[in-house]
Amino acid sequence: MSWRVATVVALRDQTATARTIVLDVVGWPGHDAGQHVDVRLTAPDGYSAVRSYSIASAADGQRIELAVEQLPDGEVSPYLAHDLVAGDLLEIRGPVGGWFVWRPEQTEPVQLVAGGSGVVPLLAMARSHAAVGSRAPIRLLYSVRDAGSVLYGSELDTLSRRDGGLEVTYAYTRVAPAGSLRPPGRVDVSLLAEATWPPVDEPTCYVCGPTAFVEVVADLLTAAGHDPGRVRTERFGPSGGIR
């Protein structure tokens, strides 16, 4: 599998520090929800840096969408989140990753649990689920610091309005919006019991976010009775991507 050239066709701010990048990739073979791409940047002196980003969009011809969070000390993220403009070219390799995927032929309940930017591949799953009109019950528990950190809030809202669509529960860890029923706090056993499909429903669970978040949530899910074989995980580095 080799590097392809992708053209930036659109950029959309998501939060104060994150934005969506829409790419057009000639010859894109399509992808499964949950897969990612590697992005390679090369400086004039030949120095190159590679980072991985989950695809946020469902399969859509030659179009793919990524989301990049700018890290204060990042090497690649400031360039992608800030300097990149429409018309620029990026080298990408992919789609890759065949384990952390949701495919339309899956009919069992789906439980998505996102920590911060871990929502990106899970959004692709929710979008894919809606695009094929899947009747599989689907829920998302989305843990964020505060309301201003929510990525793709309006897309999640739209998906939840669909009949039989995504049920979204937000868990705020630092500051909860006025009117919240729960005080701010991390995902714990009682929140899982309230907001996620119970083990008896045998959902396939997808947990994505920083390593520490994933370790805690995956342990909570298996301790609650979910079969470890039905809990799939993807850990993000501090870059907010898979590196």
Partner 1 sequence: MGIISRGFSGRRRAHDPDLPPGQYLTEDFPVLSAGPTPRIPPDEWEFAITTETGQVHRWDWPTFLALPSENVTVDLHCVTRWSKLGTSWEGVSLDTLVEDVETAADFALVHSYGGYTTNLPVEDLLDGKAWVAYRYDGDDLAPAHGGPARLLVPHLYLWKSAKWVRGITLSDVDEPGFWESAGYHNYGDPWREQRYWGE
Partner 2 sequence: MSVDPLSFLDGNAAAGELRELFAVDLTAAVGQCAGCGHVAVIAEARLYVHAPGLVARCAGCDGVLFRLVKAPGRTWLDLRGLAYLQIATPDEADRPPTA
Residues that bind partner 1 (CB under 8 A): 3, 5, 40-44, 46-49, 75, 79, 83, 88-91
Q: Which of 22, 25, 32, 118 binds partner 2 (CB under 8 A)?
A: 32
Peptide bond into 95 cis (omega under 30): yes
Q: Is 103 a binder of partner 2 (CB under 8 A)?
A: yes
**Closest distance between partner 1 and the C-beta of residue 47, in Å?**
5
Q: Which partner in partner 1, partner 2, none is near 235 (CB below 5 to 8 A by kind)?
A: partner 2
Q: Between residues 148 and 238, which has the closer beta carbon with respect to partner 2?
A: 238
**Closest distance between partner 1 and the C-beta of residue 170, in Å?**
33
Distance between CA atoms of residues 238 and 243, nearest Å: 8
Distance between CA atoms of residues 195 and 226, nearest Å: 14
Region of 11-19, 33-41, 135-143, 144-152 interacting with partner 2 (CB under 8 A): 33-41
For residue 179, what are its two tokens? 């009117």
Q: Is residue 198 within 8 Å of 228, Cβ to Cβ?
A: no
For residue 126, what are its two tokens? 């929710």
Q: Between residues 121 and 153, which has the closer beta carbon with respect to partner 2?
A: 121
Q: Is 129 a binder of partner 2 (CB under 8 A)?
A: no
For residue 12, what are its two tokens? 């959309």
Q: Between residues 44 and 133, which has the closer beta carbon with respect to partner 1?
A: 44
CA triplet 42, 208, 33: central angle to 5 degrees?
Answer: 75
Q: Between residues 84 and 207, which has the closer beta carbon with respect to partner 1?
A: 84
Distance between CA atoms of residues 243 and 240, nearest Å: 8
